[in-house]
């Protein structure tokens, strides 16, 4: 089946630094990648939709300059959390439409802790 | 706008018993899809079952079945013969339309605890 590889699975960074999260589709071309954020004991909230070769579309309330999304190829989308603060600590997970008519493949998620 | 409602924050079930997790949805679209995912403590999203709005029969996948009642806009998940490994968060999700740009919208989830 379709696989999306997400790295890193866990990262701890200092306040003020930037962190890059990668999602790579291994056996299919992901034209569109969705990025979600999940706080503890809460649901997945859509942050942005990225399309290969174009600018990402951000959901209302999501800071474009803080959460930089790049989808430079059909197999790779990245989310960079810039100038991270403790309130950015969260679980970030990507999802791509795969080959199946209603297939959504998720990465394994990244747990970000900003100290 | 589309919305998914899961009214059960937590559920308990005895091992080997069946359990129903509730999900209602709201959309004005005729073409939509409904999904159930399991999220264990590791965080990964495990796809369980899918129901298309035009599917006439309720979806089944092993111990999972989806009780789809279109007129009531409900898509409840039924897990039969619960196992201890079923303890996890369960999310109901929906997509409307069917373009490549359509994300899933999630409910708040239900935490299922299976008791031995």
Per-residue model confidence (pLDDT) at position A10: 98
pLDDT of residue B97: 73
Average pLDDT over residues B76-89: 98
pLDDT digit string, tens, across residues B48-74: 999 999 999 999 999 999 999 999 999
pLDDT at B91 over 80: yes
Please give the pLDDT value at position A52.
Answer: 86
**Lookup: tokens for B104:** 């899933």
Mean pLDDT of chain B: 95
CA distance A75 to chain B (A): 15
pLDDT of residue B96: 83
* Mean pLDDT computed over A97-101: 74
Residues of chain B positioned with their CB less than 8 A from the CB of A45: 106
Average pLDDT, stretch B91-101? 84
> What pLDDT score does B17 carry?
98
Is pLDDT at A99 greater than 90 in this prediction?
Answer: no
Contacts of B99 (CB under 8 A, 6+ apart): none
Task: Give the mean model confidence (pLDDT) for residues A89-94.
Answer: 98
Q: How far is CA B46 from CA A14, A101, B21, B42, B52, in A?
A: 31, 18, 16, 11, 18
Residue A79 to residue A102: CA distance in whole angstroms: 24
- Selecting from A31, A43, A49 the residue whose C-beta is nearest the C-beta of B103 gives A49
Say yes or no for a CB contact (<8 Å) between A34 and B104: yes
**pLDDT over threshold 80, residue A101:** no
Give the mean model confidence (pLDDT) for residues A60-72.
Answer: 94
- Smallest CA–CA distance, residue A16 to chain B, in Å, is 26
Between chains, do B44 and A109 touch, taking CB under 8 Å as contact? yes
Q: Using CB atoms within 10 A of its CB, is residue A45 exposed (0-12), middle (13-18) or buried (19+)?
A: middle
Q: Please state which of the ranges A58-72, A94-108, B33-47, B85-99 shows the lowest mean pLDDT.
A: A94-108
Q: Band the pLDDT of A105: cuts 50, 70, 90.
A: very high
């Amino acid at each position: 089946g379709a696989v999306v590889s997400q790295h890193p699975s866990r990262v701890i960074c200092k306040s003020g630094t930037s962190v890059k999260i990668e999602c790579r589709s291994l056996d299919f071309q992901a034209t569109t990648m969705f990025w979600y954020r999940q706080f503890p004991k809460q649901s997945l909230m859509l942050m942005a939709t990225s399309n290969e070769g174009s600018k990402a579309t951000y959901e209302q309330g999501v800071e474009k300059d803080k959460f930089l999304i790049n989808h430079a190829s059909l197999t790779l989308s990245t989310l960079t959390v810039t100038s991270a603060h403790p309130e950015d600590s969260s679980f970030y997970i990507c999802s791509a439409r795969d080959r199946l008519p209603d297939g959504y493949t998720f990465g394994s998620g990244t747990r970000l802790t900003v100290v | 706008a589309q919305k998914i409602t899961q009214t059960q924050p937590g559920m308990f079930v005895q091992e080997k018993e069946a359990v129903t997790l509730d999900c209602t949805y709201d959309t004005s679209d005729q073409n939509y899809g409904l999904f159930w995912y399991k999220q264990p403590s590791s965080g990964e999203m495990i796809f369980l079952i899918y129901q298309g709005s035009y599917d006439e029969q309720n979806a089944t996948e092993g111990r999972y079945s989806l009780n789809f009642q279109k007129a009531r806009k409900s898509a409840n998940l039924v897990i039969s013969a619960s196992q201890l490994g079923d303890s996890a968060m369960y999310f109901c999700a929906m997509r409307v339309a069917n373009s490549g740009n359509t994300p899933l919208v999630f409910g708040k989830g239900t935490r299922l605890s299976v008791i031995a």
